[in-house]
Amino acid sequence: MSIRERLSGNEATAVAMKQINPDVVAAFPITPSTEIPQYFSTFVANGEVDTEFVAVESEHSAMSATIGAEAAGARAMTATSANGLSLMWEMIYIASSLRLPIVMALVNRAVSGPLNIHNDHSDAMGVRDAGWIMLFSENNQEAYDNMLMAHRIAEHKDVLLPVMICQDGFITSHSIENIQLETDEEVKKFVGQYKPEHYLLNDKEPIAIGPLDLQAYLFEHKAQQAEAMRNAKKVIKEVAEDFEKWTGRKYEFFEKYKLDDAEMAIVCMNSTAGTTKAVVDKLREQGVKAGLLKIRMFRPFPVEEVAEALSHLKAVAVLDKADSLNGAGGALFEDVTSAMYVNNKFVPMVNYVYGIGGRDTTEMQIESVYSDLAKIVETGKVDNPYRYLGLRKGEN
């Protein structure tokens, strides 16, 4: 039976980690994810878990330690944000290429420079092609639930890829919300024990980890990683179905909010979906057929499913909380438009880069996006597909 509690997103994540009781947690503090290993370290100190907690000297070392632990046959976890993830960059790629099912909490924050400690998605977008499964969380409940599902996904024999659970820094990480927790016993039962097939401490099967991999094999190994990422779609769906049977909370690749009969819609990720839902409700009361598609599973990207979900619309706006600085829109916009094109679905689309460096995104701004979409619906024309939302006038 679920337990009602009030927790911040960081607390919820740390509680999930406590209930999972991993073998090793290695971490280095960085705002706004610092509280996660801080809370977890108290669980270690109080004897509530028997995890080996490794306080390392940098984020690069944190990921290196989790790689070593996971390669040895241990279940390993960590947490970071922004510049910390950047410092891990080399090891992020190594973790996925070695097919190690590490789970990391990523509390999204702007990457320097200039220095900024507030929320946008530039850290996650910087490693979107690193071979990690990436699940995004609208609120504290989703951050907790996604963490409980992560090991089941990562450790599946057809996947064996690391998983990144994302939530918005400060907006959810430090905000307290009502939440439903599951009991420790039920969590352990759902997550299960980690039983790796190949690992360094198995004296019956001597193996090498991280050898030189040149022209003869690297291409094939990368293709295997890509196949594992494709396999993850099915596994993520199956794990979510088992999770719903257990808790009653339903998760899919994305959430369709009043989308089925909508004429226009916004596509976004993480906490902005909550603001957009409030605007959708307001517009619906005025007779405006507005909807929302909230992406939960960003990697692997649900190409066919997104195209089908948006195909009936007359106009779509994709909101990116990071700018790819390529002159052609943000990363989410690129993925959505690519999905539509390859599936022969044509809907007028526009991209808004918003919320950079923690800039507030208000209901009024979201309403302005729907007003712009209404004009596109009326005219069928997109004058400028690459736009900003919330940028001060005269500074673009």
Q: Do 251 and 145 contact (CB within 8 A), yes or no?
A: yes
Q: Find, among 183, 161, 157, 172, the residue nearest to 16 by Cα.
A: 183
Q: Find, among 279, 337, 356, 310, the residue nearest to 125 by Cα.
A: 356
Q: What is the pLDDT of residues 275-326, one digit of tens each?
A: 999 999 999 999 999 999 999 999 999 999 999 999 999 999 999 999 999 9
* Fold match flag (3-247 vs 254-389): yes
The DSSP bridge partners found for residue 254 are 295
Alpha-carbon dihedral 99, 104, 110, 113, rounded to 10 degrees: -60
Mean pLDDT of 234-240: 98
Q: Using 50, 70 and 90 to split pLDDT, how confident is the model at 393?
A: confident
169: left (phi over 0), alpha (psi -120 to 50) or beta: beta
Q: Do 243 and 16 contact (CB within 8 A), yes or no?
A: no
Domain 3-247: top CATH class = alpha beta
Distance separating alpha carbons of residues 28 and 34, to the nearest angstrom: 8
Does the pLDDT of residue 145 top 80, yes or no?
yes
Q: Find, among 30, 108, 137, the residue nearest to 356 by Cα.
A: 108
Which stretch of 81-90, 201-210, 281-290 has the lowest confidence by average pLDDT?
Answer: 201-210
Distance separating alpha carbons of residues 124 and 167, to the nearest angstrom: 10
The pLDDT, as a whole number, for residue 122 is: 98
The pLDDT, as a whole number, for residue 292 is: 99
Does the pLDDT of residue 209 top 70, yes or no?
yes
Distance separating alpha carbons of residues 323 and 318, to the nearest angstrom: 12
Q: Find, among 86, 80, 253, the residue nearest to 169 by Cα.
A: 80
pLDDT averaged over the chain? 97
Q: How far apart are the first and last CA of the chain?
A: 52
The DSSP bridge partners found for residue 55 are 27
Number of residues written out for the chain: 396
The pLDDT, as a whole number, for residue 210 is: 86
Distance separating alpha carbons of residues 235 and 321, to the nearest angstrom: 28
Domain 254-389, CATH among 3.60.21.10, 3.40.50.300, 3.40.50.970, 3.40.50.920: 3.40.50.920
Cα 70 to chain centroid, rounded? 21
Please report how many Cα atoms fall inside a 13 Å half-sphere around the Cα of residue 307, on the Cβ side.
Answer: 15
> What residue type is assigned to position 271 of the chain?
S
Q: Using 50, 70 and 90 to split pLDDT, how confident is the model at 395?
A: low
Q: Using 50, 70 and 90 to split pLDDT, how confident is the model at 394?
A: low
Backbone phi and psi for residue 164, each to the nearest 5 degrees, phi listed first = -115, 120
Does the pLDDT of residue 171 top 90, yes or no?
yes
Does the pLDDT of residue 30 top 90, yes or no?
yes
Distance separating alpha carbons of residues 306 and 340, to the nearest angstrom: 8
The pLDDT, as a whole number, for residue 211 is: 80
Domain boundaries, the chain: 3-247, 254-389
Distance separating alpha carbons of residues 287 and 172, to the nearest angstrom: 31
Does the pLDDT of residue 79 top 60, yes or no?
yes
Q: Which residues contact 154 (CB under 8 A, 6 or more apart)?
A: 101, 102, 103, 133, 160, 161, 162, 163
Q: Find, among 100, 119, 101, the residue nearest to 110 by Cα.
A: 119
- In the chain, the percentage of residues whose pLDDT exceeds 70 is 99
Mean pLDDT of 69-84: 98
CA angle 271, 139, 121 (to 5 degrees): 40
